[in-house]
Amino acid sequence: MMMRGNEEKGMTFIVKTVTKLTLGFILLYGIFVGLNGHLAPGGGFSGGVIIALSLVHVMLAFGKETALKRLRPTFLRVCACAGALLFIFIVMTGLGKRAHGFLGNEIVIPVSEMLIVGFGLFAIFIALVLMTKTDGQTG
């Protein structure tokens, strides 16, 4: 494999610049869709998928190495597991109802769902990409 500079990995310069500009907006839109599920169309699942799409966007534009340097797979797994634990804690203890039903359910459940779906789906994407790479080398 040829040694290349860090600038030449991923897509072209134009795509990288546009990604830098739009990444924050896509991430913000995902959080907006997730947290505003009770007022507008959307919900925790849609918001989580949009967050995962923004991370996939970075990975497609900048290449594997640059994205994995910032977002370690261990961090993604910890986030997804934290979301699952938060969700089951809220449901099992019934704390959502006690907090007047509004802050409890409409905020905590979408947040935990966004954590599970967003980071979990991106972790799946990373796992599949890395798996194809190792398969190409060995077989």
Partner 1 sequence: MIEIHLILIFMIAAAIIAVAVKDLLSSVVAIGAVGIGLCMAFLVLRAPDLAMLQLVVEILSLIILIRATIRKDLPFSASGRWAFNTACTLLFLSVFLTAASIALKNMPQFGSPLMKVSKVYLDEAVPKTGALNVVAAIMLNFRALDTLGEATAVFAAVVGILAIARKRPRKDDDAR
Interface residues with partner 1 (CB under 8 A) are 33, 37-46, 49-50, 52-53, 56, 60, 77, 80, 83-84, 87-88, 91, 96, 101-102, 105-106, 109-110, 112-113, 116-117, 120-121, 123-125, 127-132, 134-136
State which residue, 21 or 39, has the beta carbon closest to partner 1.
39
Distance of closest approach, residue 130 Cβ to partner 1, in angstroms = 5
CA-based Rg of the chain, rounded to a whole angstrom? 18
Q: Which residues have C-beta within 8 Å of that of residue 57, sequence separation ≥ 6?
A: 19, 22, 23, 26
Cα–Cα–Cα angle for 52, 136, 70, nearest 5°?
A: 35
Q: Which is nearer to partner 1, 13 or 131 (CB)?
A: 131
Amino acid of residue 84? A
> Which CB sits closer to partner 1, 16 or 37?
37
Residue type, 78: V
- C-alpha to C-alpha distances, 101 to 58, 65, 104, nearest whole angstrom: 37, 43, 5
**Tokens (6 digits) for 131:** 């798996």
For residue 104, the minimal CB distance to partner 1 (Å) is 9
Least Å from the CB of residue 27 to partner 1: 14
As a residue count, the chain comes to 139
User: Which lies closer to partner 1 via its Cβ, residue 16 or residue 83?
Assistant: 83
* Cα diameter, the chain: 60
Least distance CB 5 / partner 1 (angstroms) = 23
Output the smallest distance, CB 116 to partner 1, in A.
Answer: 5
